[in-house]
A and B are shown apart, each in its own frame.
Chain A
Amino acid sequence: MHFSERLEVPAPLAEAWAFIWDAPRLAGCLPGCVGVEEIEPGKAYRARFEDHVGPYKVHFDLNIEVKETEPLERVRIFASGRDARLGITQRVDLAVKLHDAGDAGTALDVEAEVEILGKVATLGQFVVKRKAQEVVRGFTHNIEAELRPAPAGSSAGETGA
C-alpha cells in the first residue's frame, strides 16, 4: 500500500528537521505507539505498538532503522515488526522530505510504502487497508500537532535530536 501525504507546519525548517531527526519523537507520532527504545543513536530504535481493530487487539514491536539522511532535507526510515500471535508481519518504508515554505513555515512530504502480510491480514485486507489509512492520517495529524508553536505562556517544546 502506498500513501502520500503533504502537510504544512508553522515551524521553521531547522525546527522541523530537528523533530524529524528525533526518531523517538517521530515514531511517537504513529498512533498506537506506547514506547520507543534507542538501540543506536541516530541509527536504530525499537518501538512498541498496541492497537485494535474493533474488538481485536494487535500488538507488536517495530524495529526501526534510519536508512538515509540528507540533513535539513530528507530522512528515510525502514521499520519492520511482527505480531506473533496473529502471524502478521509489518514492513514500512517511510520517507519524509522537507521544503522551506517561507512565512508559512515548512512543508513536509510524507511517502510511505506499507506492507502488511500474513493470513489474517490477507483475509482481512479491507480492514487492514482502512486501518493503515487511519494510521497514516493519524501520523501526519500528530506531527502537525507536535510542530505547532506552543501557546503563549507555556514552556517551549524540546528541539534536541
Chain B
Amino acid sequence: MLSPFRVVTPTTIPEAAAELDRLGDAAQIYAGGAELLLLMRHGLLEPDYLVNIKRVPSLRGIDWDGQALRIGAAVTHRELEQAALVHDHAPTLGEAERHVGNIRVRNQGTLGGNLCFADPHADPGTALLVHDATVTVEGARGPRQLPLDDFFVGTYETALEPSELLTEVQVTPLPDGWGWSFERLERFYRPTVNASAAVSADDGHLGQVRLAVGCVGPRALRLRELEDKLRGLRLADAQRAIAQSGPYLEERLEPVSDLLGAADYKIHVTSVLLGRALEQALAGTGGRQ
C-alpha cells in the first residue's frame, strides 16, 4: 500500500513551478510515476503532495523547429520509440528508447522522469549525449537552458535546483553524412553497459568521433579523451586503441562490482561495445541520417 498523499494538477509550467516552490520538500513531481511510485513503495521518498504535470500541454509534445527536436519532459518512452520525428531526426535516441525497461515501463515512464531520476543504469541519456543534447529547466525564477552533460551530476543527482522542473529536451540531429550506433548489454532488470557512437568518415579514416558510455560510471559520460585519440585513425587502429583502453576506462568510469557484474567484467564489456559501436557507426557514414 502506498501511504496517502494529495495530487495537485497544474496546467501551465509557471503554475507547476509555483506549486513546487510553495510545497517545497513535501512535494514530488509526478509524470509517469514509473520510478517515483517504486521509491515511495520502498520508503525512500514520502511526499505529501504529487505535482501531476501530465496536464501541462507544453510538456507533452514532440516538435521539430527546423534545427532541433524539442521533446516535452512528460513525453513517454513509447511515444518517442514510435515517433516519426524521432526516427527521422534522432534515430540514436529512438533506438535507445525502444530498449527502456519493458513495454509497460515505456507506456508509463517519461523521458523527463528518466533523466531527472538520474539512475546511471538508463539508456536515453547515453544516446542524448552523443547528440550534445540540451535541456530546459524552469523554476520560480524562470527557465534556463544547459547541456545535458552538465545536467547529469552524479548517481541520482542532477543540476535541478529545489522547486525546478525539467520542461524540455532539445536534440540536434547529427550532421549529414554521420553514422551512429547504440549498443547495450542487459541481463537483469536494468542495463549493465551501454555505449553510443556518432562518427563522420574522412576518406576511409575516422573524422569526428563522439563516444558515450552509460551504466558503468556514476552517470553516463562522453569519453572525450578517447574521442581525441581516435580522430583520424583507420578503423583497425581505432579498434586496437579501444582494446587497449582498459586502464583509461577504469579511471574514467570507476566501475563497481555488483549484481550486474564484476568491475573488470564491466570494463571488458564496455571496450567490446565501444568497438562494435564504432564499427557500426562508421559503416553508417555517408548516407542521409
Contact = CB atoms under 8 A, between A and B. Distances in A.
Contact flag (A, B; Cβ within 8 A): yes
Interface of A: 53-56, 85-87, 119-120, 122, 125-127, 129-130, 133
Q: Which of A56, A120, A126, A127 counts the most chain B CB atoms within 10 A?
A: A126
B122 to A, nearest CB: 13
Contact of B260 (A53, A87, A120, A126): A126
B15 interface: no
Q: How large is the interface on B (under 10, 10 to 19, 20 to 34, 35 or more residues)?
A: 10 to 19
A54 to B, nearest CB: 3
B218 interface: yes
Interface in B111-131: 118, 120-121
User: Which of B43, B44, B257, B259 has the most A CB atoms < 10 Å from its CB?
Assistant: B44
B82 interface: no
Contact of A87 (B43, B155, B254, B258): B43
Given A54-B154, A56-B156, A86-B42, A130 B256 contact: yes
Contacts of A56: 39, 44-45, 156
A98 B210 CA distance: 49
Contact of A129 (B118, B121, B256): B256
Contact of A126 (B43, B118, B258): B258
B127 to A, nearest CB: 21
Contacts of B157: 54-55
Given A53-B155, A53-B156, A129 B258 contact: yes
A77 B218 CA distance: 31
